[in-house]
Amino acid sequence: MTPVRKAFLRGLVAASPMTVVVGPFAVLFGVVATEAGLNVFETMLFTISVFAGASQFAALQTMQENAPVIVVLATALAVNLRMVMYSVTLAPHFGELPLRSRALMAYFLVDQSFATTVAEIDRRPEMTAREKRAVFFGAVVAVAPLWFAASFAGAMIGRALPPEYALDFALPITFLAMVAPMLRSLPHLVAAGVSIALSLLLAGMPYGTGLLVAASVAMATGAGVERWREGRG
């Protein structure tokens, strides 16, 4: 087996435990999207063209609340801003690859493919750019087809569910469940606390703009606390 093929398999194997989360999460997106009034075609177009779970949920939630388009976009894109870090981190490893390769990787740059690739590069820093790319796409093959198929299954389930099973609380539970494991340091906890407190205080602000203010202040507070701790330590 060529080194590139081996690398591909390593990526595939390393990312496969993540399917346990990705599958149900995608089903949930399909269900919630159709419950919110999207048809199966719209749901699939959404999930294929955006391909970023958390921001898809965020967009559904704010659209359901009839927030203005600009607020929907600002919220959903803010959720994706962490990917700037992913893009920065991977860039030096793939610079020698052709642009079309990097353009394709950008589409598939998600939490799972990023985490797998970075961990593998850490373990085998001597890999060539083509081997690293193979690891990346191994991880993509493990999660992306499943994401699309499970979204589709969810959309079909959601279409079949009678409206009295109103899943109004599926979104809040999903978001809380995504946030809780991220609260692993004091700055993360403080940021989340400020985010909750301000969003409640500012809930009366028009067009969901309270959310944007709360999120911006919370982000700056998290960064500030981190900086303050570094300064002391």
Query: Which residues 208-227 are close enough to bind another protein by CB under 8 A?
Result: 210-211, 214-216, 218-220, 222-223, 226-227
Minimum CB distance to another protein, residue 102 (Å): 5
Residue from 51, 141, 146, 209 that binds another protein (CB under 8 A)? 51
The answer to the question of residue 188 lying near another protein (CB under 8 A) is yes
Binding to another protein, residues 151-180 (CB under 8 A): 166, 168-180
Give the C-alpha distances (Å, rounded to integers) separating 36 from 20, 29, 39.
25, 10, 9
The answer to the question of residue 94 lying near another protein (CB under 8 A) is yes
Give the C-alpha distances (Å, rounded to integers) separating 75 from 47, 72, 153, 180, 192.
17, 5, 27, 19, 16
The phi and psi torsions of 66 (rounded to 5 degrees) equal: 55, 35
The answer to the question of residue 92 lying near another protein (CB under 8 A) is yes
Binding to another protein, residues 107-126 (CB under 8 A): 107, 109
String marking each residue 19-48 x if it binds another protein according to CB under 8 A: -xx--xx--x-------xxx---x--xx--
- Candidates 24, 88, 81; CA nearest to 58 is 81
Residue from 7, 31, 55, 121 that binds another protein (CB under 8 A)? 55
One-letter amino acid identity for 24?
Answer: P
> Measured between alpha carbons, how far is 85 from 98 in angstroms, rounded to an integer?
21
